Amino acid sequence: MMPMFHAGAAFADLAYTAGGCSIRVVRDYDQAAGMTECCAVATVLAPEDHRRALRSDPGNLASAGRPVIGSAVKVVSRDGVELPAGAVGEVLVHGEQLMSGYWGLDDATRTTLVDGWLHTGDAGHLDEEGFLFISDRVKDMIISGGENIYPREIEDVLFGIDGIADAAVVGVPSDKWGESPVAVVVASPDSVITDDDVLAHCRAHLARFKAPVDVLFVDVLPRNAVGKVLKRELRAPFWDGRARSVN
């Protein structure tokens, strides 16, 4: 049987039997996560991890796996202190496979490679067994009233609403809180969903400070060539005329 390999974002769920895919295929399924700066792969969710998830631990399907041989992963706070299991911070990677630097970009190299650790720019946490879970991009994090808000958590709630085809969350200026989350939503064809519907659902499923303060309906979300939402384009109109795009 041919092994299956997936590199990229972790699956929140997998329909293993869809499209004629036998459940047996999962026995040889590898899911890898990484980035160019660490020669592509830093962590792997191995076949045995998938089998275990199918048996008793489906939550692990959302994991990026554990470090590959020769690599180490840790999660640190904004001031560089290593965080315990379960705490969200920036994901750092260490290993012989790391790049030596960016060609001709010394400043970027110094901020990305610090004491042998690669700052990935990803926010996430490790569990007690060393499985890595990615929450969001650090640069997309919203700081509201001193609290860290990761847009992906809100987006997961938005995708659970009937009538929403696509969604993204960005931080906008707030005189009171510094920043507040706003949902940018693409409604499904023929949907009659309203902003009140969206806000009520979010308030029922999120802590109050994480719930969006407003909803903006658009026809389509801007994406790059590989399909990632261009959040800087969504943020830009809200921050226009300000010296910087954070408060």
**Residues 213, 151, 247, 122, Cα dihedral to 10°:** 180
What are the structural domain ranges in the chain?
4-66, 71-138, 141-239
Q: Determine if the pTM surpasses 0.85.
A: no
pLDDT at site 27: 52
pLDDT digits (tens, 9 = 90+) for 164-181: 999 999 999 999 999 999
Which residue reads 């790049």 in tokens? Answer: 99
- How far is residue 155 from each of residues 30, 151, 192, 233, measured CA to CA in Å? 26, 6, 19, 17
User: CA-to-CA distance for 242 and 146, rounded, in angstroms?
Assistant: 20
Higher pLDDT, 171 or 29: 171
Residues 6 or more apart in contact with residue 130 via CB below 8 angstroms: 66, 67, 73
Q: What is the pLDDT of residues 103-157, one digit of tens each?
A: 999 999 999 999 999 999 888 999 999 999 988 788 888 989 988 898 999 999 9
Which of 118, 119, 234 has the alpha carbon at shortest distance from 171? Answer: 234
> For domain 141-239, is the CATH number 3.30.300.30?
yes
Digit-coded pLDDT (tens) for 194-205: 999 999 999 999
pLDDT at 26 over 50: no
Please state, in angstroms and rounded to a whole number, the distance separating the CA atoms of residues 239 and 247. Answer: 10
Q: Which CATH class is domain 71-138?
A: mainly beta
